[in-house]
Chain A
Amino acid sequence: MAVAARPVEEMPRPNIPSANIQLPAVRSYQQVNDEIIATLTPTVAWFIGLGIAITALLIGIGTWIYQIYMGLGVAGYNPPVMWGVYIITFVFWVGIGHAGTLISAILYLFRAGFRTTIYRCAEAMTVFAVMTAGLFPILHLGRPWKFFWLIPYPHWRFIWPNFKSPLVWDVFAILTYLTVSTTFLYVGLVPDIAALRDREVNPIRKRIYSILSLGWRNSDREWRHFTRAYLFLAAFSTPLVLSVHSVVSFDFAMALVPGWHATIFPPYFVAGAIFSGIGMVFTIIIPLRRWFGLRHYVTINHLDAAAKLCLFTSLVVGLAYLTEFWVAWYSGNKVEQEYFMNRVFGQWWWAAWIMLTCNMILPLTLFSQRLRRNTTWLFILSLFINLGMWFERFVIVVPSLSHEFEPWQWTTYAPTWVDWSILMGSFGWFSMWFLLFIKQFPVIAIAEVKEIVPPRLRTHAATTDINVSGQHVDYSPETPGEHE
């Protein structure tokens, strides 16, 4: 009685825009709830991971206390290199914080379906990355206990911060971004929290989920308001993606320093931020989909599409690098030219070439579909991108300051264990929050996934599937074309 599936002569080309959002192996809403909520159960590996993250964080905190007591001299600062690892890491984390909003907001507005399964992860990453980044401007202060002087607050002496200073703009940009991205994450979570609430048996957790779900009852009216609110927030966040990192880039671009004083910085920084954010998304989501058994949710088609975005931003970043060199040459400004020579072929050649290799050369491999669909390579590449983007900020901050106008004050820079410990602590801080998050909230948006689950087929649906060409094929939970 069953219609035998026709033999497949040829694997369908998977790279078809309408196909790349589909989840052929997800067959019912029940399955979505079951499989995703199952990932919330803590495991031994998770406890070990959390333990490592907290240990790293505690080392970082201990080091910071030591640094506050002794003074910033325990870090590797070498004047006039007055900014170092902390500012580099600040920009690094802010950059990472950009992919989340890009994926959840901009791609939402553009109806790019591949975002559906990765956006929750990216958005959580954004919030935690911004939380991490926000620590560093305080960490790097000479007198961190006075950090609130940068915030305009009512004061009987009417002392205000200097609104001309890009650092004050930073305060506003970062705080705004943190507020909006947290709100966005939370609003998107509400229907999922309601789903969790309905399944929860632990009364305390149930109570917490009940409060957090704001009494969500899955009514049409709620859904109508929810989608409008979500759309509004997406539209609201979109300019922030562009503005926040532009403001961060003003920290450099508004200064006189050769290598900083460049009009290309805002677009260059935004592209770099998105690039680094996508790199971090890969770093997180590839192991996660494997450990959580969610490969049929975050399909290789999604990763492939994200890899294309990654490739595109890499090309933008690469163009920015080359433009910087070209402008330095074209400007005829000797100071600028000598700085770039020193950066690429002189004192800092190694840092510059790490940056160029990781951010400009290695991502070119993504032109190969085979490599785009090879999750192992994507993961390795994402690590290189993380490293490369950290070094991009290193190359911006350190070589510029060490080779400025005044030759008598040219120096070098080498971080100490204090810098490294605090950098490590920042990863511990970020990982701790992320690990806590993935066991409390679904790392894949349950409600949104349900929107793209294919219509349930009739009787034979358990054994066959319809591919994008309308052909019936054998059921396979795997998306074709994934390499390891």
Chain B
Amino acid sequence: MSDITQPSGVRRREFLKILGVTGAGAAATGCGPSEAGRLIPYLVSPDQTVPGVSTYFATTCRECAAACGVIAETRDGRAIKLEGNPEHPLNRGALCARGQAALQGLYNPDRYNGPRVRRDGQLVETTWEEAIQLFRQRIDEARSSGRGGDAVFLNRHETGSFPFFLDQWLSTMGLAPHLAIDPSMDHAVIAANREAYGVAWPSLSFADARLIVSIGADFLDGWGASVPQQLDFAEARAKMAGAPRLVYVGARRSLTGLNADEWIPVRSGSELVVANALLAAVRGGGRADLSTAASAADVPVETLQRLGTELASARPSLVVSGVRTVDAREVARVVNAINQASGNVGRTIRPAMPISAFEGAAMSADTSAAIERMRAGRVPLLMLRGVNPVFTMPKSAQVAEALARVPFKVAFTSYPDETAELCDLVLPDHHPLESWGDAQAMPNVVSLQQPAMDPVFRTRATADVLLEVAAGPPAAGGPAPPTYRSWLINRFPGGGAAFATALARGITSGSTARVTPRAPAPADATAVPAPVEGDGDFIFVIYPSAVLGLDGANKPWLQELPDPVSKICWQSWIEMHPETAARLDIQPGDVIEVQGTGGTVRAPAYLYPGIRRDTVAMAFGRGHTAYGRFAKDVGANPLDALSPGFDRAGMAAWSGSRVRVRRVGEYTQLVTTEGSARQHGRGIGRALAVTELGGAAAASGEEHAADVAPQGTGEGGAAAAVGQQPGAHGGGHALPGDASHEPLPGLRAPIAADAEGALRNPRTNEVGMYDPEHPTGMAKRRWAMTVDLARCTGCSACVTACYAENNIPTVGAAYQSGHTQGLPRTAGANILRSREMAWIRLERYWEGDEASPDFETRFVPMLCQHCGNAPCEPVCPVFATYHSPDGLNVQVYNRCVGTRYCSNNCPYKVRYFNWFGYGETDRPQYAWPEPLNWQLNPDVTVRGKGVMEKCTFCVQRIREAENRARSEGRDVEPDEFTVACAQACPSRAIVFGDAADERWAVARQLHDERAYHVFEELNTFTAVVYLKKVTHPAPAQLASAPAGG
């Protein structure tokens, strides 16, 4: 495709020749990827494809098992952006960072470009016919030797029809049923839920709870179905005065812990005792329980007592557990008992509305058993699809050695991961965005999956391959083997027509399988903790990286997205409390070695105040030894230190073992985007206690919640606005110390006054810089944004959404580090020099005393504030940045000469410079090696080196909406469209719109008493208005709670 980018001077005659030749070729062979032509991808365009106009396909996200609905935007036959499907019951229009990054899985340059077979020890390319023939032959051999029942198929756990299809196929072929594995799932909770409620995962209603207690469950980021949970939690927090308090109990503050109002740092491994004590408290038990628990957990007994009292009195409450110790299932059982005793079942826990994603997954112990059978040489044939046990199981489990004992291994994996590289045959699967399928989102909701585009590589859908294998060798001229699509349609109630109708929405009611709720069994609440493994001074906590998941490491967007907690990217790190580090004389970045029961792991130290002094923690997700250029040799795998262990439900126990820690004597600079972790009293992220809220806002919380309901439904927003008067929300409320409070973003700015005609000369009728009556009507608008810090959880989905929408280059890959002078050529070198390009970044500030567990966290999404009086504008010598009449601070890349003065003068530091040719194909720093560049948004310029860039408020979306409205002869409807970050935000914290028009949600939000501008004292008149975070102090502390902010 590099031809496109080079104006190589094709003359008209040559063009016609090319058109003729490639057109004929395309017509003869169909639209395979290899024919994707010269000028636009499709010379013979499929129906619906109009050059320059997007086509949208509703499909399903398969990045995790939850199966959120996505809408894939395709342009000229290529998927360029994923958005949440607003009609999908799970994600309701939101999409997390991993979901956004599915595109980089689709276009990953390291994908297998076709089937591979092992010859002379090497995986070499082959044809599909040969590969399928070989596969068929091996299956026949296994069957004829009578060992078909011993074959193992490890499939990545998913819901929908495919598992049934697969088992059907396996039984047809005389092979054993498959194992659906997903090591990131909380199997302990699933097991306990089955006992208590008969379903794997009841839906959790955070909004209805008065108190939420999370025992190690990072429900905002990674645990369970995080997008729906986050949506729900944000709704809960938006209730302001009626919002639940969140207490986090765990050895390490996860992202959920940082969002909690209180952190109780119990020792890892003591969660069971604590949960038992809380159960006793809820049931009216004695104090003895509490003191034992307090000493085991190493927390003050008063804290537990207060929590117990609070839990007993707050009805309904919601208690969740997500520990990964050997006691995980017991903790989950006790937690279920607490919920039952508190009467939460049916109110905040709804077994009647389960989330189906968690049904049917096999335990890690089952996988382990299969691996042991391989080691014993009893498995004749191994098939893997989307799973990578060599990476996701501890090194000490010696999975690779066990695999070596299997005579023939087939990988249906699209990526060269550790396991696939060991296989004998690779039959690369389509990416979910290239293939048909379905998923069970909820018991009565099927989420449909359809290809958004033609395959990028010479891959084939595994289901189709299996059908072809089952059909036997193709007879010459015989009918083509059935496809999985036809199989799905046959199964679909109503057949093809109904299927096509349903596809348009992406969801349909119904079920792909009948899940029979089992009768709840009584929980055993008296279990005692299992003995702790290992010896050493520290307890090791391993948690799945929320950003990367199990397999996100090969996607540069995710590698470059700083961890929401540590803010480290392109690197692994070991979390350690600053006091512990001082005791051991460890500085940030000193490489430390953790010696566990199964081996050692090394990584630089990150000093984290949100971890217990006797605990070290590490995220799982990096440390690949294969898996492509973005993942290989980046970071370390914490499982290297573990010996394989399981809890009583068979989930791999990652945390709670004792380890030794020592300083190695090496130093690695931390690849962090954090400058100072403290605000230094500068009022960037402000907060106030719920008790300080004025009556009006406390009461109108619900109303605001309605304002920020999923956008894109213009009519609804307009209808809600009827009857609303400006200032009706108590805009006159002044907070203490906030005398000048008058948050009209940009409206007070001199430029805005000009656009409103203030500079008009009444005699000559000359206007100022902007004509308020200009036919475009631009001067009437004032684009603005509110960011509700009470909703924002810091999950960073907005960041990745922005990367996807605005063609922001990633700069941290190892291959991009070569010319970053003075630094090692490892991944992240450019970020060591703060050259990340995130137009929107999540700042994470500590507030209060970090030495005590009561420190608070403020997350602030920081983006260009589109100041009405922008400091960047007057200093640009060439007018490359200027103000548009509708309030945008515009950057003209073509005009920029790169003096970088604008960035120096920006108080918010939201301007980013192209230090290298990240957008130039012939430079070693090129950010989108083919075919990653297929994802680039054609509406947004790819910036060359030497120019400044920054958030544009998605100006391409603004103009598109305006143009669409104009062509339809109407005005832009209120909330008709929104920007990429706001659209993705799973907390609905970001609201974008026209502040000059009271019908827009954003205009109403500005009157909130919590509204403030960052650095208002600089007279920048920002168009981004933040709404203060609301903290919920413990009831006992209410009387003496200090003012926030």
Contact = CB atoms under 8 A, between A and B. Distances in A.
A141 interface: yes
A148 to B, nearest CB: 9
A129 B940 CA distance: 43
Given A162-B876, A405-B1015, A82 B681 contact: no
B878 A161 contact: yes
Nearest to B843: A408
Contact of B845 (A74, A75, A166, A408): A408
Given A168-B877, A405-B682, A414 B675 contact: no
Among B834, B871, B904, the one with the most A-chain Cβ atoms within 10 Å of its Cβ is B904
A256 interface: yes
A409 B821 contact: no
Contacts of A74: 819-821
A149 interface: yes
Interface stretch (A65-73, A101-109, A207-215): A65-73
A334 interface: yes
Interface string A381-424: 00000000000000000000100111111110010111000000
Contacts of B874: 162, 164-165
Contacts of B860: 408
Nearest to A150: B877
A150 B878 contact: yes
A254 interface: yes
B569 to A, nearest CB: 15
Contact of B903 (A79, A161, A167, A411): A79
B383 to A, nearest CB: 46
A255 B875 contact: yes
A259 to B, nearest CB: 11
Contacts of A418: 821
Contacts of B914: 71, 142
Given A150-B877, A150-B878, A407-B680, A414 B822 contact: yes
B897 A142 contact: yes
B1001 to A, nearest CB: 28
Contacts of B904: 80, 82-83, 255, 257, 401
Interface in B873-930: 874-879, 895-901, 903-909, 912-917, 923, 925
Contacts of A76: 821-822, 833
A150 B897 contact: yes
B676 interface: yes
Interface in A141-175: 141-143, 146-147, 149-150, 159-162, 164-168, 171
Nearest to A415: B822
Contacts of B834: 78-80, 409, 411
A338 interface: yes
A255 B899 CA distance: 14
Contact of A257 (B905, B912, B1015): B905
Contacts of A146: 897
B491 interface: no
A82 B875 CA distance: 14
B521 interface: no
Given A165-B901, A256-B871, A417-B821, A80 B909 contact: yes
B720 interface: no
Nearest to B818: A70
A70 B923 CA distance: 7
A336 to B, nearest CB: 12
A112 B898 CA distance: 45
A427 interface: no
Nearest to B878: A149
Most-contacted residue by chain A among B674, B679, B879, B897 (CB, 10 A): B897
A91 to B, nearest CB: 14
Contacts of A409: 675, 834, 909
B821 A143 contact: no
A309 B878 CA distance: 40
B384 interface: no
Contacts of A140: 899
A159 B843 CA distance: 38
A63 to B, nearest CB: 11
Contact of B675 (A82, A164, A410): A410
A85 to B, nearest CB: 12
Contact of B913 (A142, A159, A160, A165): A142
A166 B876 CA distance: 8
B947 A143 contact: yes
Contact of B907 (A78, A167, A405): A405
Interface in A74-121: 74-80, 82-83
Interface in B1012-1027: 1015, 1018
B397 interface: no
A242 interface: no
B781 to A, nearest CB: 25
Interface in B843-877: 843, 845, 860, 862, 871, 874-877
Contacts, number: 181
A71 B946 contact: yes
Contacts of A171: 877
A416 B679 CA distance: 30
B678 interface: yes
B736 to A, nearest CB: 19
A160 B882 CA distance: 13
B780 to A, nearest CB: 26
A249 to B, nearest CB: 14
B916 A71 contact: yes
A82 B913 contact: yes
Contacts of B906: 80
B684 interface: yes
B878 A143 contact: no
A141 B909 contact: no
A80 B819 contact: no
Most buried by B among A73, A147, A165: A73
B399 interface: no
Interface string B201-223: 00000000000000000000000
A414 B819 CA distance: 15
A113 to B, nearest CB: 43
A287 B879 CA distance: 48
A166 B682 contact: no
Contacts of B458: none
Nearest to B912: A79
A332 B861 CA distance: 29
A335 interface: yes
Given A406-B909, A408-B676, A73 B915 contact: yes
B825 to A, nearest CB: 13
A141 B833 contact: no
B915 A77 contact: yes
A73 B819 contact: yes
Interface-central residue, B679, B682, B901, B912, by most chain A CB under 10 Å: B901
Contacts of A142: 896-900, 913-914, 945-948
B878 A407 contact: no
Contacts of B819: 70, 73-74
A162 B878 contact: yes
B413 interface: no
Contacts of B905: 255-257
Contacts of A416: 821-822
B895 A149 contact: yes
Given A142-B896, A407-B845, 14 more contacts: A72-B945, A76-B822, A78-B833, A142-B898, A142-B913, A161-B879, A165-B875, A165-B876, A167-B875, A251-B901, A256-B905, A257-B904, A338-B680, A407-B680
Top 8 closest pairs, chain A to chain B, by CB: A142-B898, A142-B946, A73-B915, A410-B675, A416-B821, A407-B676, A82-B900, A409-B909
19 contacts: A73-B820, A77-B913, A82-B901, A83-B900, A141-B898, A141-B899, A143-B945, A150-B897, A162-B879, A165-B901, A167-B901, A401-B904, A405-B1015, A406-B675, A406-B684, A408-B862, A409-B834, A411-B675, A411-B834
Interface of A: 70-80, 82-83, 137, 140-143, 146-147, 149-150, 159-162, 164-168, 171, 251, 254-257, 334-335, 338, 401, 404-411, 414, 416-418
